[in-house]
Amino acid sequence: MLQVVEDAWGRTPATWEGMMLRTLGLILDRNPGAQLGRLGSKLAGHGKKKPLTVAQWKETSISGTVGGGSSSRSMPLAKIIVAAYNDGLEDPTDFLSTPGRPG
The answer to whether residue 97 sits within a structural domain is no
Q: Is residue 103 part of a domain?
A: no
What is the phi/psi pair of residue 96, to 5°? -90, 155
99 domain residue, yes or no: no
Burial of 7 (0-12, 13-18, 19+ CB in 10 A): middle
| CA–CA separation, 85 and 94 (whole Å) | 10
Residue type, 101: R
64 lies in some domain? yes
- Domain with 55, as residue range(s), is 2-90
Residue 21 lies in a domain: yes
Higher local confidence (pLDDT), 14 or 101: 14
The structural domain count of the chain equals 1
Which residue, among 31, 56, 28, has the nearest Cα to 43 in the 3D structure? 56
In a domain, 7, yes or no: yes
- Cα distance from N-terminal residue to C-terminal residue, the chain: 25
Q: What is the pLDDT of residues 45-100, one digit of tens each?
A: 876 777 889 999 988 887 756 655 555 778 999 999 999 999 999 999 999 999 98
The radius of gyration of the chain's CA atoms, rounded to the nearest angstrom, is 13
> Rounded to two decimals, what is the model's pTM?
0.86
Query: Is residue 96 in a domain?
Result: no
